[in-house]
Chains A and B, each alone.
Chain A
Amino acid sequence: MKKKLLPAFLSFVFILSLLLAGCSGDSPTGNDTENSDSEQVTINLGYYSGGKSDEKMQELINRFMEQHPNIKITTQSSPYGQFFQKLDTQIAADEAPDVWLSDGVLVMKYAERGAIKDLTEWINRDLNKEDYYGLDSNQDTDGKYWGVPQGIQIGALYYNKELFDKAGVEYPSEDWTWEDLKEAAAKLTLDASDKKPNEDGFNSENIKQFGLTFFSITEGWFSVLKSYGGGILDESLNNSVINSEENKQAFEWMVDGMSKGIITDPADLNSFQSPMAVFPSGSAAMRIGIYARVLAANEAGLNYDVTVLPKGPDGERFSPVITNSWVINNSTSDKKAEAAWEWVKFWATEDEVQKEWAALGEAVPVKKSVAQSDTFLNSTDKPENKQAFLESFDFAGSLDTNAVWSEWVAKFNEHARRAFLEEQPIEEALENADKDVQKILTDFYNE
């Protein structure tokens, strides 16, 4: 008899452990019953990160908990791509963090699908809006606020001083138009046999050094389209305005530069490990870059600086801004949401927190007082002209972010690529892009 009991017992234990393993998984929303002692609230905070910033975040969280003994923060973090992939499934399973850090371009994706909380009242009550950069970029077309800025990315023109000096070209000035840029870029372009675009035997197929590296929406076509007076979506963000004369002109400027080998085209970019690597590796004299790109440039020990992005033909300028933000889970309890708001406030209002985060050099501080202080502007790190990032706020705008941003960007890229590689005439590419992007918008908004 004993012998027969043993396998039964073993399989019982095995099944049980299997079930437990299946069910456990940390469910932060599960143990909600904190009505026991002294109003202790536990909130779960999610953020994407890596390396240095991870440590700093933990440090700030510890400081917050010391100041707020009744709030306990548990965290979950992972690298960017995994974080957002996991987040979507967590939201589906109602297991998402109570408060999380959202990439600026994704705030509206969550807002318009009802996954995050409308923070308008709290922001009006607790924050002095004048104090912050980028608060407006989390505002929807109805004027509601969906997130509080955590760090800001804004575009500027990066240039490699060494390459400019070598070619004897003057550094970019604040008065440059895109045409000026292309002229200078032509002097900075070299093919494999060190020939320049205007020389005989120049081979535009085999470029060693590009004048300008150019890719994707943020660090490529969007600012050009906008400063030429064109763009992608109208003010409601529900309609495409892609098929316009202004966009056509902007595309002519881009395609011309690419066909001459002055600007990197999509095929050129694929020959680098990553499109981000072209400028830091010294293979391009200029780039359109957001603030975070200083990290790679500094790491590479580049001798470079930044200035504001060039003007369009009518003097218009445009700098893309991405406001990475704290957002609060819409399905979390009121009590937890309030605790989460305390954390967001701590982050946004405390100068010390802002300064320490700014020291990592990943983003422009969201608080104007800190961004305009010596801590940010006169830190010893390159680039020297950090003021250019702040000046760019005067003509900054969002990337037409709405609920289906990733989708329409992918579609637009597909068509833009054909125009860039001259597989399709510009008019045709714009026409098709307009049709396809409009379809995506209609499918989502006119349900």
Chain B
Amino acid sequence: MQTNRKNSATTIIPAKKRKLISYEGKWGLLLVSPYLIQFIMFVIAPLIASLYFSFSQYDMLNAPQWIGLENYEKLFNEPLFYKSLWNTLYFAILFVPAQAFLALLLAVALNQKIKALKLYRMAHFIPVISSWTVVMYVVDAIFNPRFGLANSFLIKLELEPQKWLNDEQQVIPLLVLVAVWKGIGYIMIIYLSGLQNVPNELYEAAEMDGASSIKKFKSITLPSISPTTFLVIVLSTITTFQAFEQIYVMTGGAADISAAGGPNNASLVLMLYLYREGFSFLHMGYASAIAWILFIILFILTLLQLWGQKRWVHYH
């Protein structure tokens, strides 16, 4: 629609002077203005401000001072930045496929006609609506190195007890495990609606041809829900890059921000690094630079995903 109008405006010279905005357009603008105003006040304005801050030295208590590219230079020379960038990527690489795959399996299972279906669906959704603080207590009961269930289980099996979240190698995989468990219900719901939109005729036709269940899944279900998978992957990539609360709560940030980030900064992700620099150390300019780099990375990743979707996403 929009492109059509644009074309007509450029190719056909209107007889009368066209109004800048039509009557309907004015109404439209008026009706969306609550959102627009909010968008400008709380999204666009802070966005511009943070861009400005990223080129200045700003401690929040005094006016920002323009220092050009210094924050970015500092950033690219800071080992902790690369470490937190790697930690974030590592988290995403483990989390995004694991969550999508397991949620799909779960959704397929819960798309059957089985007894107490609603109960199962609900059970998987409970972690989604629980707060991270509550989740932390559950996780602690299991993975506490001294009193946790996991270690007493290992000891029973005469295996070495583990340090879990206190171990540099284990901390990110463990955080991913918990994040998958907590988020899976949400993604499962998205998949369920995707599955229910697959036309039944396709299955019926396949059955007439004598296709096996696995064959049906591979050739009908997977391609049909590929737009859903695409949505899920884009969404969860973005959430991973913004992951903050989980890691803040589960690696001790609530008690001591300098401890947040796990043993030897093994779980220091970009958002946590940003928070620590900005709000604990008052390097708001530097933190803004981190935010912009984060934005650019996410933007590129999303573009790549959009470009890649042509190869595997099928729309009806």
Binding site for B on A (CB under 8 A): 7-8, 11, 14-15, 18-19, 22, 81, 85, 88-89, 91-92, 109-110, 113-115, 206, 216, 266-267, 270-276, 404, 406-407, 409-410, 413-414, 417-418, 423
What is the bound-complex CA distance between A26 and B64, given in angstroms? 25
Task: Please name 8 further chain A to chain B contacts, defined as beta carbons within 8 Å, in addition to the given A275-B256, A413-B259, sorted by A numbering.
Answer: A11-B33, A85-B279, A113-B282, A114-B61, A114-B62, A404-B281, A414-B264, A423-B264
Contacts of A270 in B (CB 8 A): 145, 165-166, 252
Q: Which residues of B contact A418 (CB under 8 A)?
A: 264
Q: Are A407 and B280 within 8 A (Cβ)?
A: yes
Q: B30 contacts the other chain (Cβ, under 8 Å)?
A: yes
Is A18 a contact partner of B163 (Cβ separation < 8 A)? Answer: no
Name the distance in Å between B102's Cβ and chain A's nearest Cβ: 28
Selected from A113, A267, A273, A423, the residue in CB contact (under 8 A) with B62 is A113
Nearest residue, chain B, Cβ from A270: B166
**Which of the residues A18, A89, A92 comes within 8 Å of B37, measured between beta carbons?**
A18
Kindly state the separation between the CA atoms of A385 and B263 in the bound complex, as whole angstroms.
38
Residues in A with CB closer than 8 Å to B140 are 273
- B residues apposed to A, CB below 8 Å: 27, 30-31, 33-34, 37-38, 41, 59-62, 140, 144-147, 161, 163, 165-166, 252, 254-259, 263-265, 276, 279-282
Instruction: Kindly state the separation between the CA atoms of A115 and B279 in the bound complex, as whole angstroms.
Output: 16
Beta-carbon contact of A267 and B279 below 8 Å: no
Q: Which residue of chain B has its CB nearest to the CB of A273?
A: B140
The 5 closest A-B CB pairs, nearest first, are: A410-B258, A271-B146, A92-B60, A113-B61, A407-B281
A92 and B280 contact, CB distance less than 8 A:
no
A419 CB to closest chain B CB, in angstroms?
12
Q: Is the CB of A15 within 8 A of B255?
A: no
Q: Which residues on the A side are within 8 Å of B27 (C-beta)?
A: 7
Measured between alpha carbons, how far is A115 from B37 in the docked complex, in Å?
33
23 A–B contact pairs at CB < 8 A?
A: A8-B30, A11-B33, A14-B34, A15-B34, A22-B38, A85-B279, A88-B60, A88-B61, A88-B282, A91-B60, A114-B62, A267-B145, A270-B165, A270-B166, A272-B146, A406-B258, A406-B280, A407-B280, A409-B258, A410-B257, A410-B281, A414-B258, A423-B264
User: CB-CB < 8 A to A271: which residues of B?
Assistant: 144-147, 166
The reply to whether A89 and B256 contact each other, CB–CB distance below 8 Å, is: no
Cβ-defined contact, A414 with B60, below 8 A: no
The answer on a CB contact under 8 Å between A88 and B265 is no
Is the CB–CB distance between A267 and B263 below 8 Å? yes
Taking the closest CB of chain A, its distance from the CB of B233, in whole angstroms, is: 34
Shortest CB-to-CB span from B250 to chain A, Å, is: 11
Do residues A19 and B37 form an inter-chain contact, with CB atoms below 8 A? yes
Q: Closest CB-CB distance, A90 to chain B, in whole Å?
A: 10
From A115, A275, A414, contact of B265 by CB (8 A): A414
A295 to chain B, nearest CB (A): 17
Residues of chain B within 8 A of A109, CB atoms compared? 282
Assess A274 versus B255: contact at CB under 8 Å? Given A11-B33, A88-B279, A91-B60.
yes
- Enumerate chain A residues within 8 angstroms of B259, measured Cβ to Cβ: 413
- Bound-state Cα–Cα, A91 to B140, Å: 37
Asked if A18 contacts B258 (CB within 8 A), the reply is no
Q: A413-B258, A423-B264 are in contact. Are A15 and B62 (CB under 8 A)?
A: no
Tell me if A115 and B61 are in contact (CB < 8 A).
yes
Task: For the complex, give the distance between the alpha carbons of A81 and B61 in Å.
Answer: 18
Task: Say whether, besides A113-B59, A216-B256, A267-B263, A18 and B279 are in contact (CB < 8 Å).
Answer: no
Chain B minimum-CB-distance residue to A275: B255
Distance between Cα atoms of A114 and B147 in the complex (Å): 48
Q: Which of B61, B144, B254 contacts A91 (CB 8 A)?
A: B61
B140 to chain A, nearest CB (A): 7
Cβ–Cβ contact A15 & B37, under 8 A: yes
> Separation in Å of the A154 CB from the closest CB of chain B?
20
Q: How far is the CB of A275 from chain B (nearest CB, A)?
A: 7
A7–B37 Cα distance when bound, in Å, is 18
B134 to chain A, nearest CB (A): 14
B182 to chain A, nearest CB (A): 20
Give Cα A85–Cα B281 distance, bound, in whole angstroms: 11
> In the complex, which of the residues A92, A206, A270, A274 has the most CB atoms of chain B within 10 Å of its own CB atom?
A270
Name the B residues within 8 Å of A110 (CB-CB).
61
Residue of A nearest to B167 (CB): A267
